[in-house]
Chain A
């Protein structure tokens, strides 16, 4: 089946640093990748949608200058949290699909803790 690999699984860093999270589709070409944020005991909230080779489309309320998304190839998308602060601590999950009419496949998520 389709596999999505997300790295790192857990990162702890100081306030003010930038953190990059990678999302790779291992056995299919991900024309579209999605980034979600999940708060404890809450649902997944879509942050942005990225299509390979295009600028990401951000959901309302998501700062595009803070959450930089790059989808440079059909198998890799990155999310960079710039100048991270404690309120950015959360669980970030990526997903990918090769077609709009197909289900998304999810990565394992990255737990980000900002001290």
Chain B
């Protein structure tokens, strides 16, 4: 069975600080990896995804993530956060060719102005 672990439940940063949110997964085959963001009062939105190719994936709003196969990791990064990045971030994984997603528990990011 696949599983996803997000290291931090809550992260508090000041504006302009750099961000890295950890995500590790377990799955026996080829994976597709995702980061979703949920802004307060809104639905889940796709930030970025990795299916194949370059393990460094760039997403919307300046976010990027790096797939490190040997570490089963897909950490999310942003060099300089803004107050508007305050949201909950979910890492998710699915087997390649399958549709069922498994989510991590989420990381609540609070950026103070």
Contacts and interface: CB of A to CB of B under 8 A. Distances in A.
B100 A42 contact: no
Interface residues of B, number: 23
A89 B25 CA distance: 30
Interface in A89-108: 93, 95, 97, 100-101, 103-108
B99 A49 contact: yes
Given A32-B99, A34-B101, A44 B90 contact: yes
Interface in A35-61: 41-44, 46, 49
Contacts of A103: 34, 46, 49
B101 A42 contact: no
A103 B46 CA distance: 8
16 contacts: A4-B43, A34-B101, A41-B9, A42-B105, A42-B106, A43-B90, A43-B105, A93-B44, A97-B99, A100-B97, A101-B32, A103-B34, A104-B101, A106-B36, A106-B45, A108-B43
